[in-house]
Structure 1
Amino acid sequence: MKLVHENAICYSGYRDGQNPREGLYPSYNEVKEDLLILQENWRYLRLYDCGPHAELVLDVINTEKLHFKVMLGVDMAAEMSNPNCPWGADFSQEVINANRQKNCDEIHSMIALTKKFDDIVFSVSVGNEASVEWTDHMVPVDSLVNYVKQIKKEIHQPVTFCENYVPWTYKLEPLVAELDFISIHTYPAWEYRTMEDALEYTKQNYYSVAHHYPDKPVIITEAGWTTASNGRGIEPWNANEALQAEYYQQLLAWTTEEKILTFVFEAFDEPWKGSPDKLEPEKHWGLFKVDRTPKLVMKDIYPNKVININKNNAVA
């Protein structure tokens, strides 16, 4: 299969006071506002689950006749404990059994949404970072294989799995045999790289997988640079808007030249993520701030953009 290179971005629309864990979701007008911003520069969106937020995004695209194509994801829960997870992932058998049922339900939701929005969903992912050694939602590879087989019986869209670059070259080989294409994540900043070798490191990550599977398409579904850090995992001096802009420009120049479909992480800052610390790096990967104003990386594309939230849904 051939994947067309277009501008692509990861999208979650959660604003201040909203949190999927608490069932607090963006409204129709808020999602519409986001998509009107994004449609100026992006064609492909990546969504992470099949819950109310994802269904709303697909509904807005359909109703407003926006020209997006969507990679729809599954939010996998842990089907086994993982002692290698630094923040803890030890689960009772009762929890694991409940998670397996949740995952089955999520797969059914994915299939239903994909059929409902058949002309918008261009591909699906069977999970996100559910096999890397540090994950808190580890899913056995054989379970992932079975989920892929189940999905392929129901829909015609290509199926992938989104994961850190490391597991692809060993434990995920049985899964690759079932996938239509491979989706990798690469984050130089999380691995203590500086801008001096960030792009080269990203290239190494990508080609380590692509060369391992010369007959399987490989895309990037997460790559980006955070603009703030409290020191957790990323040194504060290595997180700012200037560095984000530099990495973005280098990344897009390379992936455009090589025609590698790349979903930049991510559209908007998400304050619900990570710890309560406001400088937690998980909160600051957006190319736009949580108030929807552009960061430095977007100033050339949105030079005079002022986003007015909750004012008749205007985007000025």
Structure 2
Amino acid sequence: MNVLINYIKVCIAACVIIGCSKKETMNVNKSAAEILGNPDYPAMCFGGFRELTRDSVPSVADLKEDLNILSAMGVKILRTYNTTGDEQVANLLQAIREKKVEDPVFEMYVMLGAWVACDIVDDTAVHNQGNLKWIKSEIDEAIRLTNEYPDIVKIIAVGNEAMVHWQGYHVAPNVVLRWVNLLQELKKEGKLPEDLWITSSDNFASWGGGDPIYHKRNLEKLIKAVDFIAMHTYPFHDTHYNPHFWLRPDTDTMSNEEKIKLAMHRSVDYAMAQYQSVKNYVSSLGYENKPIHITETGWSSKTNDWYGPKGSKATDEYKQKLYYEEIIKRCEEQNITCFYFEIFDESWKDDRNPLGSENHFGLITLKGEAKYALWDLVDQGAFDGITRNGYPVTKSFNGDKEAFMKTVLPPRTLEIIESE
């Protein structure tokens, strides 16, 4: 009898130890301060919509497929854009929670975006006034989701490119500041997790890195109020809007591949220069220690618009791979988190033009084809057994590099541009 009792005690003790170990593993819960700037926590901008409109919202099951792909790539932080209007973000957080239950070592954190836009009065945009009802609903839902998923939501971003003047819906910094201050106050009151970080995700110019027109007192207050600066940089778009960095000198002795590699290196230099311009401005205000991370940058792989064969010749999978690899490497070297834009193609962004560049920033197509940037991972078997929409993750162009390299064009020379 004593032997039996002792055996039962040993079994109970073992179960307790195993249970505690599993519980501890499942409760991996790092703060924003621990994951941002940490190369072990790669980040990605996320949208899981698969159709021509956002009316068809990806289900929890759909999003768990996406999480399998992201996890296979090593991604551990996702950035979203809005909290209301559809259920994608709520479904994503539920999917992450279910994945954490199913797999004790699964880790994924979210930078939760709350959409901000100006008010419209008599069909006129009022840029110093936000759409109060809309913004409040976005912020309220961000608060609710953060408190429901405190182990997943680590950052709230008030607005996406909400202050940059070329956005038709832009607002003045005081509008964003109001809601950032509200969230910071809720943290102090214990109504939000104390280690939650608050920011606004915006273009580098909006953060003072460009035109002095943005250098306003309320921007200075906003820089002080946020926990870190979340900036965007897009050399891709500037191959059209500000192309001098992109245009190659007359280097006819080089191969096309060499010309392209130099252009993409210049593109990353351009992005990092915009990062430095923000850092310089923030430091000039006395906030030298304010963290700054790149929360959006990317490169489209296909287009029929200004960036294509009849324009800056910027789009193809080869250039996308070069940009993706070098911008990530450069950011890691400087302890900068780079939220790459984006993981999947989304066709709703330019639904009337299937070849529009906005539809093709993803590293993976709607049919589950990994673009050239991810071919090595396919070869390594990272996606074996993983599907999306019923498609296995395979290589684009059926893995035929020679075929896709025929789509790759070098930038034009400065001399040609100036002669036109």
The correspondence for 2:377, drawn from 301, 310, 314, is 301
C-alpha deviation, 1:8, in angstroms: 0.5
Q: Radius of gyration: which is bigger?
A: 2
Alignment match, 2:202: 163
Q: Output aligned runs, 1:104-119, within 5 Å.
A: 104-119=136-151
Q: Distance in 2 between matches of 1:244 and 1:144?
A: 33
The correspondence for 2:133, drawn from 98, 101, 104, is 101
Q: Output aligned runs, 1:286-297, within 5 Å.
A: 286-297=362-373
Q: Output aligned runs, 1:159-198, within 5 Å.
A: 159-169=198-208, 170-171=215-216, 172-192=219-239, 193=246, 194-198=263-267
Amino acid at match of 1:187: Y
Instruction: Flag the 1:232–1:315 CA change in 2: closer, same or farther, 3 A.
Output: closer
C-alpha deviation, 1:310, in angstroms: 4.3
Are 1:237 and 2:270 counterparts? no
Instruction: Flag the 1:294–1:27 CA change in 2: closer, same or farther, 3 A.
Output: same
Are 1:35 and 2:75 counterparts? no
Instruction: Flag the 1:197–1:299 CA change in 2: closer, same or farther, 3 A.
Output: same
Tell me if the contact between 2:303 and 2:357 (Cα under 8 Å) persists in the aligned partners.
yes
Identity fraction in percent = 31
Alignment match, 1:76: 116
Instruction: Report Cα offsets for 1:185-233 as digits up to 9, x if no partner.
Output: 0110101134251011011000101122222100000111100121236
Tell me if the contact between 2:46 and 2:78 (Cα under 8 Å) persists in the aligned partners.
yes
Are 1:9 and 2:51 counterparts? no
Amino acid at match of 2:358: E
Q: Distance in 2 between matches of 1:64 and 1:11?
A: 17
C-alpha deviation, 1:50, in angstroms: 1.2
Alignment match, 2:272: 203
Instruction: Flag the 1:266–1:92 CA change in 2: closer, same or farther, 3 A.
Output: closer
C-alpha deviation, 1:140, in angstroms: 2.1
Q: Distance in 1 between matches of 2:276 and 2:89?
A: 31
Tell me if the contact between 1:226 and 1:281 (Cα under 8 Å) persists in the aligned partners.
yes
Q: Distance in 1 between matches of 2:316 and 2:81?
A: 25
Give me the TM-score of the superposition, normalised by structure 2.
0.68
Instruction: Flag the 1:165–1:90 CA change in 2: closer, same or farther, 3 A.
Output: farther
Tell me if the contact between 2:203 and 2:231 (Cα under 8 Å) persists in the aligned partners.
yes
Q: Distance in 2 between matches of 1:263 and 1:60?
A: 20
Instruction: Flag the 1:92–1:265 CA change in 2: closer, same or farther, 3 A.
Output: closer
C-alpha deviation, 1:302, in angstroms: 2.6
Q: Distance in 2 between matches of 1:97 and 1:162?
A: 18
> Unpaired segments of 5 or more residues in structure 2?
1-32, 101-105, 187-191, 209-214, 240-245, 247-262, 283-287, 395-420
Alignment match, 1:86: none
Alignment match, 1:139: 171
Q: Distance in 2 between matches of 1:4 and 1:280?
A: 33
Compare the two structures and name the one with the higher helix fraction.
Answer: 2
Amino acid at match of 1:144: V
Q: Output aligned runs, 1:214-225, within 5 Å.
A: 214-225=288-299
Tell me if the contact between 1:227 and 1:281 (Cα under 8 Å) persists in the aligned partners.
yes
Amino acid at match of 1:269: D
Instruction: Report Cα offsets for 1:266-311 as digits up to 9, x if no partner.
Output: 0100000025111101100001111222110011123254764444
Q: CA RMSD in A?
A: 2.5
**What SS does structure 1 have at the residue aligned with 2:350?**
coil
C-alpha deviation, 1:75, in angstroms: 1.5
Are 1:59 and 2:97 counterparts? no
Amino acid at match of 1:217: P
**What SS does structure 1 have at the residue aligned with 2:137?**
helix
Are 1:129 and 2:161 counterparts? yes
Larger CA deviation: 234-243 vs 218-227: 234-243
**What SS does structure 2 have at the residue aligned with 1:161?**
strand
Tell me if the contact between 2:307 and 2:314 (Cα under 8 Å) persists in the aligned partners.
no
**What SS does structure 1 have at the residue aligned with 2:43?**
strand
Q: Distance in 1 between matches of 2:312 and 2:367?
A: 22
Give me the TM-score of the superposition, normalised by structure 1.
0.89
Tell me if the contact between 2:118 and 2:125 (Cα under 8 Å) persists in the aligned partners.
no
Are 1:49 and 2:88 counterparts? no
Amino acid at match of 2:293: I
Tell me if the contact between 2:129 and 2:171 (Cα under 8 Å) persists in the aligned partners.
no
Q: Distance in 1 between matches of 2:82 and 2:65?
A: 20
Tell me if the contact between 1:10 and 1:47 (Cα under 8 Å) persists in the aligned partners.
yes
Q: Distance in 2 between matches of 1:250 and 1:97?
A: 39
Aligned length in residues: 304
